[in-house]
Chain A
Amino acid sequence: MAKLMSLLWGAGSPPCWRVMITLEEKKLQGYKRKLLSFEKGEHKSQEVLEVNPRGQLPAFKHGDIILNESCATCLYLENQFKSQGIKLIPDSADDQAAMYQHMMEGLALTDKLNSVIYYDCSVPEEERHDSAVKRNKEALTAELKLWEGYLENVAAGSYLAGAFSLADVIVFPSIACAFRFGLSVGRYPKLAKYYSLLKNRASIKTTWPPHWVASPQGYDILKDL
């Protein structure tokens, strides 16, 4: 099963991480994978463009089936391999609603993080404004406060939609990035608790970004948020 699967991925990419966590959770270890470098522009190489005309990672294949959107890949894997590994979509209507809701909101969280962390990468120099940077930081702060609220009662086994689910698969990588980039544990205690509860989960530990293991010290772009 896993032998028919291949993943082109990049280090430090939450979307790639989401797919890798899901593959672990569904007991699909043993898939082929290749680590590519964003810095060297390898995401725009012929190898990637053949699988993903958008030149983005992750790029995933299962036999002839191609999936290049991380959420799409995670939903596909959960639905195709429902009976193996961990159940990632809850049965109860309420938990399911919460799961889908937080999954999709997770995309807004990732966008807002990127708009702060990667501002200079995505905005040409002549178009940058301090007012925009400030506004993006304020939007990210408001977003993080929302998630603090969602995780008010976080505890072992009680995450974004009850038991560990696709919502956590989608969201955890961005939370981990936020702390990697200096988010204050003191100012966001619930997020910090969520982070510390899940960072040792097997699927997450196994797929931890290798360069984070190599250099545990991150950055401090978000320290004042």
Chain B
Amino acid sequence: MAKAMTLLWGAGSPPCWRVMIALEEKNLQGYNQKLLSFDKMEHKSKEVLDINPRGQLPTFKHGNTIVNDSYAVCFYLESQFKSQGNKLIPDSQEEQALMYQRMFEGLTFYDKLNAVIYYDWFVPEGERHESALNRNKEALTTELKLWEGYLQKLGSGSHVAGPSFTLADVVIFPTVAYLFRFGLSAKRYPKLGEYYNLLKDRPSVKASWPPHWLENPEGQDTLKDI
């Protein structure tokens, strides 16, 4: 099963991490994988473009089936391997609804994070404005407060969309981990800090932890004042 799967991934990519967590959760260890370098522009190499014309990672193949969007891979794996590993979509109507809702809010969350930490990567020098970066920081702060609220309402020890670990955690945890890696204050965001601690040692998360974070435990402080 896993032997028929191949993942091209890059370090420092939450979307890649989502797929790796999902593969672990569904007991699909042993898949073929290749680590590529964003800095060396390997995501725009022919090897990637042959599978993913967008030149983005992750890029995933299962036999002849290609799926390149991290959420699409997660949905596909849960659907195809429903009966193995952990159940990632709850049966209860309410829990399911909350899971889907938070998953898609997770895309906004991720975008707002990128708009701050990768501002210079995305915006050419001649188009950068202090006002824009400030606005992006305010938007991220508002977003973080929303998620603090969501976690607060669910109570201690809860996952992001309810009592159980679900696809919502698969896609959102990497974003939360990145927030702290880039210096977010756990004091100012205690619920997010609790959530991070709850999941950082989960086997699927630990097994797929970004290798360069292990080499350099200290992150950056871009977000320390958020």
Contacts and interface: CB of A to CB of B under 8 A. Distances in A.
Are A and B associated in one complex?
yes
Interface of A: 53-54, 62, 64-73, 75-76, 79-80, 93-94, 96-97, 100-101, 103-105, 107, 124, 126-127, 129, 131-132, 135, 146, 149
B213 interface: no
A69 B53 CA distance: 27
Contacts of A132: 127
A104 B71 contact: yes
Interface of B: 53-54, 62, 64-69, 71-73, 75-76, 79-80, 93-94, 96-97, 100-101, 103-105, 107, 124, 126-127, 129, 131-132, 146
Contacts of B69: 100-101, 104-105
Nearest to A102: B72
A96 B79 contact: yes
A135 B126 CA distance: 13
Contacts of A127: 127, 129, 131-132
Contact residues of B: prevailing secondary structure? helix
B101 A66 contact: yes
Nearest to A75: B100
Contact of B131 (A68, A100, A124): A124
Given A71-B104, A72-B104, A126-B131, A100 B97 contact: no
B127 A131 contact: yes
Contacts of A69: 100-101, 103-105
30 contacts: A65-B94, A66-B97, A67-B97, A67-B101, A69-B101, A69-B103, A69-B105, A70-B104, A72-B100, A72-B104, A94-B64, A96-B80, A97-B62, A100-B71, A100-B72, A100-B76, A101-B67, A101-B68, A101-B69, A103-B72, A104-B69, A107-B107, A124-B131, A126-B129, A127-B127, A127-B131, A127-B132, A129-B126, A129-B127, A131-B124
B67 to A, nearest CB: 5
Q: Which 5 A-B pairs have CB atoms at the shortest separation, nearest pair first?
A: A69-B104, A72-B100, A100-B72, A104-B69, A101-B72
Given A94-B65, A127-B132, A76 B71 contact: no
B82 to A, nearest CB: 12
Contacts of B100: 67, 69, 71-73, 75-76
A65 B96 CA distance: 10
Nearest to A124: B131
A97 B127 contact: no
A80 B93 contact: yes
B97 A76 contact: yes
Contact of B103 (A68, A70, A72, A149): A72
